[in-house]
Chains A and B, each alone.
Chain A
Amino acid sequence: MSPPPAGGGPPDFARFAAEVVGPRAGETDRAPGLAPELIREVAATGLLGAMIPADYGGLALDAPAFGRACAEVGSWCTATRALLTVQNMVAGAIARWGTPEQRRRWLPGLADGSRLAAFCLTEADAGSDAAAVATEVAAKDGGWVVDGRKLWVTAGAVADLFLVVGTMAGAPTAVVLERGTPGLRVEPVGDRLLGMRGALVAHVGLVGCRAPAGARLGPVGAGFSHVAAVALDLGRHSVAWGSAGLAEGCLREAVRYATVRRQFGRPLAEHQLIRRLLSDMVVRARSARQLCRAASAAHAAREPDAVQETMVAKYAASTAAFANAADAVQIHGAAGCTTDHPVERFLRDAKTQQIIEGTDQMHQLGVCELALREYGGPLRAAAEGAR
């Protein structure tokens, strides 16, 4: 890994991303899957435990610092950044709602990367309507039994810990299952994905999975509203920054190509219509980063509105990443439609960022509430009769 900067502080994540992650991003996409040695190198930077408290071996980065790291990695490889995202989502939920014993049991391994985590929420009939999960959690013999099937689980193919959101007699309940639990089966699906192909995505089957009493995270009933909510908020924040980084990566590659490729006797960058594309890419990338900064600042200040500021940032950044990726491919022309250049991967990856941790459409609903609150009248006329 890259050495820490002079004067101490965390490792130089920008250098690590450019020198270690970037050169292997194409291979990660084609394999598909992050190579074990790359995961070990990422773990050595501390990024897998970036937001975990120092007491448990984490880097204890604040939201702005972790966000910047996600942007650096995301500007080269969305699959690698996704690993950071899900690890810190699960660790964050454990740190926030875990008992002291649960924190001691799980956080050190997540911090040093010796254990990888997956977040299991989506099901066949529960995506945007995440509260509709049908996975059943039942109390039995002093522990829990979990039955269900989870889809599109990032890092699910290699995870050691699975944070599963299910329902116990209708009450959302979160349980942490460990790899090797009888009845837990992973089905890697990376080779079927449009983007994030290297993110070790899997479907996870859960058939009569037994877990001890200490496996439940948070109270019965809080599995979605509080446990999953914390994880999803951290995930959106990380995806937002990663997308801002991806938008910048698209710009970097587009400029690199436009200054080398010559047409009509001069570099593409000297053509006015190409300059317009590049200008729009600059504005999108910088706007996305500014909104990410605002969301991180709200998180750092523990403002109740941080959740919605993060939704604004995630929506804007994922939109910017996709638009920039499309323009980067356009500037590359036919070359951009091949695996000879990273922009075709950027385009595929960018589309997935408009879906993961909440689709653009779900974000539009949440973002709109900010405007209604500032300028509108009563929000829920349907509840009028109750007052």
Chain B
Amino acid sequence: MTASDNAAADAVRERVRAFLHDVLREEIGDDVDLFSTGLADSLLAMRLVTFVETAFGLTVEAEDLDPAHFRSINAVTDFVHRKHAGAPGEAR
């Protein structure tokens, strides 16, 4: 990633952090698994999709609904980066 890419990723990560902090009302580590820890439920799953679409101007397609893309702050950040780059939303 270039320095510009890194800065963009940091900006995305900060917005995702802020959204989840607002919803969950607490600080969460960037790699904490939202689903396996029970932090996220089905309501949050759909809200997270809507947030990602509206905040970052992209469309989440059915093939993007891999839980790995939404399981943590860093996973969402990477997903947004790949979508903006036009690459498939394949999980790491």
A136 at the interface (CB under 8 A from B): no
- Say yes or no for A307: interface residue by CB 8 A criterion: yes
Interface of B (DSSP majority class): helix
Contacts of A131 in B (CB 8 A): 42
Q: Is the CB of B65 within 8 A of A383?
A: no
From 17 to 70 in chain B, residues with beta carbon under 8 angstroms from any chain A beta carbon are 19, 22-29, 32-33, 36-39, 42-43, 45-51, 53-54, 62-63, 65-67
Question: A387 and B46 in contact (CB under 8 A), knowing A218-B65, A302-B54, A304-B51?
Answer: no
* A9 is an interface residue with CB less than 8 A from chain B: no
| In the complex with contacts A221-B67, A304-B47, A383-B25 CB distance below 8 A | no
- Cβ–Cβ < 8 Å partners of B54 in chain A: 302-304
Q: Would you call B24 and A379 a contact (CB within 8 A)?
A: yes
* Bound CA span A372–B23, Å: 10
- Given A98-B62, A219-B63, A378-B25, A386 and B37 contact (CB-CB distance below 8 Å): yes
Mask of A335-364 contacts with B, CB within 8 angstroms, 1/0: 000000000000000000000000000000
Q: Report yes or no: A225 in contact with B42, Cβ–Cβ below 8 A.
A: yes
Task: Check A386 against B32 for contact (C-beta < 8 Å).
Answer: yes
A145 within 8 A of B: no
- Return the chain B residue nearest A306 by Cβ: B50
Q: Which residues of A contact B37 (CB under 8 A)?
A: 383, 386-387
A97 — which chain B residues lie within 8 A by C-beta? 62, 65
Q: Contact between A378 and B26 (Cβ–Cβ < 8 Å)?
A: yes
* B residues near A308, Cβ cutoff 8 Å: 43
A133 to chain B: closest CB distance in Å? 12
Q: Mark A279-321, 1 if CB is under 8 A from B, else 0.
A: 0000000000000000000000011111110000000000000
Query: Could you tell me the distance in whole angstroms from the C-beta of B91 to the nearest C-beta in chain A?
Result: 12
- A308 to B46 alpha-carbon distance, docked (Å): 11
Query: In the complex, A16→B66 CA distance in Å?
Result: 44
The CA of A274 and the CA of B81, in the complex, are separated in Å by 63
Residue of A nearest to B46 (CB): A229
CB of A219 within 8 A of CB of B43, answer no
CB pairs A–B below 8 angstroms (23 shown): A219-B62, A219-B63, A219-B65, A219-B66, A224-B42, A225-B45, A226-B45, A302-B50, A302-B53, A303-B50, A304-B48, A306-B50, A307-B43, A307-B46, A307-B47, A373-B23, A378-B26, A379-B24, A380-B24, A380-B39, A383-B39, A386-B36, A387-B37
Given A219-B62, A221-B67, 13 more contacts at CB 8 Å? A99-B62, A225-B42, A225-B45, A226-B49, A229-B43, A302-B53, A302-B54, A304-B47, A304-B54, A307-B46, A307-B47, A379-B26, A383-B38
Return the 4 tightest CB-CB contacts between A and B, nearest first.
Answer: A386-B37, A225-B45, A304-B47, A222-B65
